[in-house]
């Protein structure tokens, strides 16, 4: 059984990645319902928490039905990160995660996110300060290194474990890769199989199918996988992986009606948490993925992104369910070699399995 501190996660947990502007409570609600074992908030600026910025504080919202749930923070300085850890602890999450993986320029230029991969001693000191500041289990999400010449994840894993982190998630790309190309799982496997490493190691990157999740476990021995883009508009990915691991068989793909019903549930959570205007507006980014694979959907989608009331959006979704009631969305064919690497034509569409 995989454990982080006193949190028991099962034999091969499936984690929902923290994704900015995606992994909010409404999205996490539908992912939890569809089988996610551990979820994280969007990443939160340590400086924003200290300044009491409204946007940062709002990201601290967690709910009992989400548990276990972790709050993720980022920053480049010890004192603000330690203070932020204490603020996070007061909200009573199950764990605290540090983001050392975000490749976005505005984060990196502050020496935060994956920017800290240029300065491993600073990363270690910052992590130690956070661990010391909180009683929560502290975990880390990071990348293989800054670039191909500095893939130092094996050293990073040992040193972060030595200062007290209790789990490590590794995205199989460098910062310079951003999200391009394929994730390289070889070094993730080396970290997991390092005899010095005793904390759980989770792999992240290009997990879009049940076959790929099984390959991650069997080829590289990771304790679980973190899923990001593949869950956007397709939270069924979690239960599909679990079912395939247990039975060797695929679950039937969700019908159009099922997709619409979950999309509506997501929308309703969004409105409840954010209010009508913002909830409807920010939900628009999800419709394309929920409706992916439906032919001639452009006109309906245009209606969805112009509706201004909850009732109007639900009416359009109901019309979609009725119009496509007999349509079956084909599941992406499994990779014949069971590789973790998606086929070339899947790379750009790795955000949806289905």
- Taking residues 139-167, what's their average pLDDT? 92
- In what helix (H) or strand (E) does residue 146 lie, and over which residues does it extend? none
Distance separating alpha carbons of residues 290 and 321, to the nearest angstrom:
12
Distance separating alpha carbons of residues 154 and 238, to the nearest angstrom:
28
- Please report which confidence band the pLDDT of residue 106 belongs to, taking 50, 70 and 90 as the band edges: confident
* Residue 263 · residue 240 · CB < 8 Å: no
- Please report which confidence band the pLDDT of residue 51 belongs to, taking 50, 70 and 90 as the band edges: confident
Q: For residue 336, what pLDDT is reported?
A: 35
Q: For residue 101, what pLDDT is reported?
A: 78
- Taking residues 264-277, what's their average pLDDT? 95
Q: For residue 178, what pLDDT is reported?
A: 77
Distance separating alpha carbons of residues 251 and 180, to the nearest angstrom:
30
Q: For residue 334, what pLDDT is reported?
A: 40
Give the pLDDT confidence of 60-93 residue by residue, as tens digits.
899 999 999 999 998 888 999 999 999 999 999 9
Distance separating alpha carbons of residues 206 and 202, to the nearest angstrom:
13
* Residue 168 · residue 160 · CB < 8 Å: yes
- Taking residues 189-199, what's their average pLDDT? 96
In order, the DSSP letters of 229-286 are GGGTT-TTHHHHHHHHHHHSSPPPPPPHHHHHHHHHHHHHHHHHHH-HHHHHHHHGGG
Q: Say which residue the tokens 């507006």 belong to.
A: 281
Lowest-pLDDT range of 148-152, 268-272, 340-344:
340-344
Q: For residue 255, what pLDDT is reported?
A: 93
pLDDT above 70: residue 337: no
Which of 100, 219, 221 minimizes the C-alpha distance to 169?
A: 100
- Bridge-based pairing of strands 138-143 and 167-171 is parallel
- What percent of the chain stands above pLDDT 70? 93
Burial of 194 (0-12, 13-18, 19+ CB in 10 A): middle
- Taking residues 239-259, what's their average pLDDT? 94
Q: Say which residue the tokens 């009725």 belong to.
A: 322
pLDDT above 90: residue 310: yes
Mean confidence (pLDDT) of the chain? 88
Contacts of 100 (CB under 8 A, 6+ apart): 74, 113, 114, 116, 117, 123, 140, 141, 142, 143
Distance separating alpha carbons of residues 203 and 94, to the nearest angstrom:
20
* Residue 300 · residue 291 · CB < 8 Å: yes
- Taking residues 36-61, what's their average pLDDT? 87
Q: For residue 343, what pLDDT is reported?
A: 39
**Is the pTM value of this prediction over 0.85?**
yes
Q: For residue 335, what pLDDT is reported?
A: 38
Half-sphere CA count of 50, side-chain side, radius 13 A: 15
Residue 351 is encoded by which pair of tokens?
């955000």
Q: For residue 331, what pLDDT is reported?
A: 65
- What percent of the chain stands above pLDDT 90? 71
- Taking residues 103-121, what's their average pLDDT? 81
Q: Could you say which of 102, 208, 263, 350 is catalytic? A: 102
- Please report which confidence band the pLDDT of residue 339 belongs to, taking 50, 70 and 90 as the band edges: very low
Q: Strand, coil or helix: what is 173?
A: coil
Distance separating alpha carbons of residues 84 and 96, to the nearest angstrom:
10
Q: For residue 107, what pLDDT is reported?
A: 82
Q: For residue 205, what pLDDT is reported?
A: 92
- Taking residues 204-210, what's their average pLDDT? 92
DSSP lists the bridge partners of residue 202 as 169, 224
Distance separating alpha carbons of residues 4 and 226, to the nearest angstrom:
15
Residue 235 is encoded by which pair of tokens?
């939270």
Going from the C-alpha of 261 to that of each of 21, 184, 234, 266, 321, the distances in angstroms are 22, 36, 12, 9, 9
* Binding-site residues from annotation for FMN: 72, 141, 171, 228-229
Q: Is residue 350 among the annotated active site residues?
A: no
Q: For residue 332, what pLDDT is reported?
A: 53
């Amino acid at each position: 059984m995989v454990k982080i501190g006193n949190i028991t996660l099962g034999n091969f947990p499936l984690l929902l990645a923290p994704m900015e502007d995606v992994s909010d409570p409404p999205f996490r609600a539908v992912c939890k319902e569809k089988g996610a074992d551990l979820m994280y908030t969007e990443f939160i600026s340590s400086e924003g928490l200290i300044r009491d910025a409204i946007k940062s504080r709002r990201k601290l919202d967690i709910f009992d039905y989400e548990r276990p749930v972790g709050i993720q923070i980022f920053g480049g300085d010890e004192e603000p990160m330690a203070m932020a850890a204490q603020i996070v602890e007061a909200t009573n999450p199950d764990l605290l995660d540090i983001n050392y993986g975000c490749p976005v320029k505005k984060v990196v230029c502050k020496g935060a996110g994956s920017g800290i991969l240029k300065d491993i001693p600073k990363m270690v000191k910052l992590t130690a300060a956070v661990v010391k500041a909180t009683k929560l289990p502290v975990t880390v999400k990071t990348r293989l290194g800054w670039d191909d010449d500095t893939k130092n994840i094996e050293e990073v894993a040992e040193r972060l474990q030595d200062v007290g982190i209790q789990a490590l998630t590794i995205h199989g790309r460098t910062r310079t890769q951003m999200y391009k190309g394929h994730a390289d799982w070889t070094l993730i496997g080396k970290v997991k199989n390092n005899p010095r490493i005793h904390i759980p190691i989770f792999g992240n990157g290009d997990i879009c199918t049940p076959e790929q999740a099984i390959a991650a476990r069997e080829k590289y021995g990771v304790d679980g996988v973190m899923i990001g883009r593949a869950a956007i508009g397709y939270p069924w990915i979690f239960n599909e992986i679990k079912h395939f691991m247990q039975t060797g068989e695929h679950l039937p793909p969700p019908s159009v009606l099922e997709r619409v019903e979950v999309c509506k549930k997501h929308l309703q959570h969004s409105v409840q948490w954010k209010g009508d205007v913002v909830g409807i507006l920010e939900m628009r980014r999800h419709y394309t993925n929920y409706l992916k694979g439906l032919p001639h959907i452009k006109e309906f989608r245009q209606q969805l992104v112009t509706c201004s009331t909850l009732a109007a959006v639900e009416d359009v979704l109901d019309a979609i369910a009725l119009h496509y009631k007999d349509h079956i969305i084909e599941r992406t064919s499994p990779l014949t070699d069971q590789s973790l690497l998606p086929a070339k034509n899947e790379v750009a569409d790795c955000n949806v399995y289905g």
